[in-house]
Amino acid sequence: MPSSSTERPATPISAETFDVRFPTHETLAGSDAMNPDPDYSAAYLRLNTDQGAGHGFTFTIGRGNDIQVAAIESVVAQLAGADIDVLLSDMGQTWRRLVHDSQLRWLGPEKGVVHMAIGAVINALWDLRAKRAGQPLWLHLATLSVDELLSLVDFRYLTDALTVEDARAILTSAEPGRAERIAELQRVGYPGYTTGPGWLGYDDDLLAKLCREAVADGFAQIKLKVGGNLSDDKRRLQIARDAVGPDVRIAVDANQRWGTADAITWMRELAPYDIAWIEEPTNPDDVLAHAAIARALAPMPVATGEHAANRVIFKQLMQAGGVQIVQIDATRVAGVNENIAILLLAARFGLPVCPHGGGVGLCQAVRHFSFFDYAAVSGSMDGRMIEHVDHLHEHFVEPLEFRAGRYLAPSVPGASTEMRPESLQQYRFRS
């Protein structure tokens, strides 16, 4: 049975979970140097209350999605007996209650399966809260007071880089103009870039065709997977450059393939192709290696974050100069609250945030943070864009509106995380 419910009769919350897996390995969409045959999956949660439902999930790539579902069920069980209104009214406290549960914490701490499960639960609560407020999540966050935003962030382990006072100064200085930037976002949206052409499993003709289509679709940046074979990478970069012309940026992504020395050697070979950034050159925990790679390859920026386990890793990457492009992910860390902490860290260090999209529903979920960031945190779109992969969007209730290389502002109340009931049923995994 995919569903469970909390045990105490007093609780107004019940939870249903779903192990959802799409057989994406059949098309090699999503293939890269480290992930040759992913089955894009979601460990999916529906929180039912007497005043509507909230939806959250963790993205995985297949095997192990069952573990993630089990973890979400255990985390939800911690909320047995809780009053949903109390949980939603102080989401800072709710986050601390789950993340600091001393026994669950041992299984991380603050990383991996349990941390991502907490993220799914926290995100489902935010979906519910935004729906109740009648606002899309980004707008809901962008209309909170500075004090309430600060209350959402756990500053323990951050204060050597970002104090409460630093964060207050960032948010306060972005208060003037919030309304105007919100209106601008609703009018013109936010820039995206596309990873669609560049999967490692695609042949040269398909690569060239998709590159030309990306330009025609209005994208100012594309991204290619690299790290399998150096001469292949050079050939594919030349094909892509010929197809997109000199003005469209080309980023590359190694998906953690290398050690420090290999990353530097390989990327020096690719530098002549005018690389917008090198993404995930090495292990995502390796702050010092990222810093060494960034120093060696400067001015080529290093991008990372989709596998950064928590705000402490992000903080160090910024302190050490190991990241120039901050790639937050909607389901890797412990949900909305922790991503707000990371946006504040990025603002503190003056670094652009270019969120990780793709997978199952990541574009839907993560775009809210860029819209919120522009409205209420950094106040800037310079060098910032959201990854776009045109894939599996049809399984979500709310359409993903994207036009001429830009994400349109979400307008439906909630966090855009609700999957269609038919998709949940059709792709439910049966082991």
Which residue from 24, 68, 304, 370 is in contact with its own copies, where contact means CB under 8 A? 68
Choices 59-67, 82-90, 207-215, 371-379; region in contact with its own copies by CB under 8 A: 59-67
- Could you tell me if 224 and 248 are in contact, meaning their C-beta atoms sit under 8 angstroms apart? no
Q: Is 140 a catalytic residue?
A: no
Q: Is 391 a catalytic residue?
A: no
The two tokens of residue 20 are 């959802």
**378/342 Cα distance (integer angstroms):** 12
**206/209 Cα distance (integer angstroms):** 5
**305/378 Cα distance (integer angstroms):** 18
- Could you tell me if 308 and 287 are in contact, meaning their C-beta atoms sit under 8 angstroms apart? no
Choices 45-53, 100-108, 125-133, 374-382; region in contact with its own copies by CB under 8 A: 100-108
Nearer to its own copies, 82 or 107 (CB): 107
Choices 60-68, 141-149, 224-232, 388-396; region in contact with its own copies by CB under 8 A: 60-68
**264/257 Cα distance (integer angstroms):** 12
Which residue from 20, 124, 158, 252 is in contact with its own copies, where contact means CB under 8 A? 158
* Cα angle for residues 72, 77, 80 (degrees, 5° grid): 145
Which helix (H) or strand (E) covers residue 126, if one does?
A: helix 112-133
Q: Label the pairing between strands 190-198 and 221-225.
A: parallel
Smallest gap, in angstroms, from Cβ of residue 283 to its own copies?
Answer: 4
Nearer to its own copies, 31 or 370 (CB): 31
Backbone angles phi, psi at 365, to 5 degrees: -80, -40
Choices 132-140, 265-273, 287-295, 413-421; region in contact with its own copies by CB under 8 A: 287-295
- Could you tell me if 154 and 163 are in contact, meaning their C-beta atoms sit under 8 angstroms apart? no
Among positions 251-270, residues that touch its own copies (CB under 8 A) are: 256, 259-261
320 binds its own copies (CB under 8 A): yes
Residue of 55, 111, 356, 391 marked catalytic: 356
**200/202 Cα distance (integer angstroms):** 6
Among positions 15-34, residues that touch its own copies (CB under 8 A) are: 34
Which residue from 93, 157, 204, 206 is in contact with its own copies, where contact means CB under 8 A? 157
Smallest gap, in angstroms, from Cβ of residue 98 to its own copies?
Answer: 11
* Integer angstrom CA distances of residue 108 from 91, 101, 215, 228: 21, 11, 43, 31
Residues that bind its own copies (CB under 8 A): 34-39, 60-64, 66-68, 70-71, 74, 78, 101-117, 156-160, 256, 259-261, 282-289, 292, 307, 309-310, 312-313, 315-316, 319-320
Q: Any idea which residues carry the catalytic annotation?
A: 225, 356
